Amino acid sequence: MAEPFLIGDRMTGGYGGADILHGCTVAVEKGEIAVIVGPNGAGKSTAMKAVFGMLNIHAGAVRLNGEDITRLSPQARVAKGMAFVPQTHNIFTSMTVEENLEMGAFLRRDDISGTIDEVYRLFPILKEKRRQAAGELSGGQRQQVAVGRALMTRPSVLMLDEPTAGVSPIVMDELFDRIIEVARTGISILMVEQNARQALEIADKGYVLVQGSNAYTDTGRALLDDPEVRRTFLGG
């Protein structure tokens, strides 16, 4: 079987103290959505950060499109086509929406107006508010700015750390719809989610992590139907 487009393969590591990840594997195929779920403290965000190079792993590897990128800095990974939306502090609050998008494209030297238009097509509300300071927007709109900023480098992989944290259920559904739309354009999506049930519904692949290891791995649908997973993680 061909290797997935992006894979964090049997990663072991942590923030310097005790290991948090123990041989954990997460991967995503081209244009698909992979979701990492699991109980609090399972190392979901840590796994994501490990894939993006924000912490050291001392065993295992990260490969993008077959290329080993384990030793690259996060900035170098951005240049390779990866984009990351942190869970918090993911926008420039004092800058306008449009400036946020411009900063997202800082590495690009070509004309970015086409990409800005694409982001506005995806998130029409941002076009309306483009001259407003991003910090003045609502929670859901801020998340849209954050995702839009990450899309400005025209990445091949978009990584989202709990994109729906702290937003209302209606806004959450809308954000998920937009994420599906992004995936349809051929961008792979790897995300960590608290709202496990809704996230698995849109996931092509789901990873249930427990204490830094893979507990269950299957398609999103199969995980939702698995009685064991339902009982232990999805609350019946």
Partner 1 sequence: MDFLNALVAFANFVLVPATAYGAQLALGALGVTLIYAVLRFSNFAHGDTMAFGTMVTILVTWALQAAGVSFGPLPTALLALPFGIAGTALMVLGTDRLVYRFYRQQRAKPVILVIVSMGVMFILNGIVRIIIGPGEQNFADGERFIVTAGEFRKMTGLSEGLAIRSTQGLTIVTAVIVVALLFWFLTYTRTGKSMRAFSDNEDLALLSGINPERVVAITWIIVAALATIAGVLYGLDKSFKPFTYFQLLLPIFASAIVGGIGSPLGAIAGGFLIAYSEVMVTYAWKKVLTYTLPDNLAPDGLVQLLSTDYKFAVSFVILVIVLLFRPTGLFRGKSI
Write out the residues near partner 1 by the rule CB under 8 A: 74-75, 78-79, 84, 86, 89-95, 99, 102-104, 106-107, 149, 153
Minimum distance, C-beta of residue 200 to partner 1, in the bound complex (Å): 27
> Edge-to-edge strand order for the sheet containing 213-218?
82-85, 157-161, 188-192, 33-37, 205-210, 213-218
Minimum distance, C-beta of residue 42 to partner 1, in the bound complex (Å): 23
The dihedral formed by the CA atoms of 164, 180, 190 and 98, expressed in degrees to the nearest 10: -70
- Shorter beta-carbon distance to partner 1: residue 162 or 174: 162
Minimum distance, C-beta of residue 22 to partner 1, in the bound complex (Å): 27
- Shorter beta-carbon distance to partner 1: residue 89 or 184: 89
Ranges of H-type helices in 4-157: 44-52, 74-79, 97-104, 113-122, 124-128, 139-151
Integer Cα distance of 12 and 80 in angstroms = 23
What 3-state DSSP class applies to 184? Answer: helix
Minimum distance, C-beta of residue 78 to partner 1, in the bound complex (Å): 6
- Shorter beta-carbon distance to partner 1: residue 32 or 99: 99
Integer Cα distance of 146 and 163 in angstroms = 9
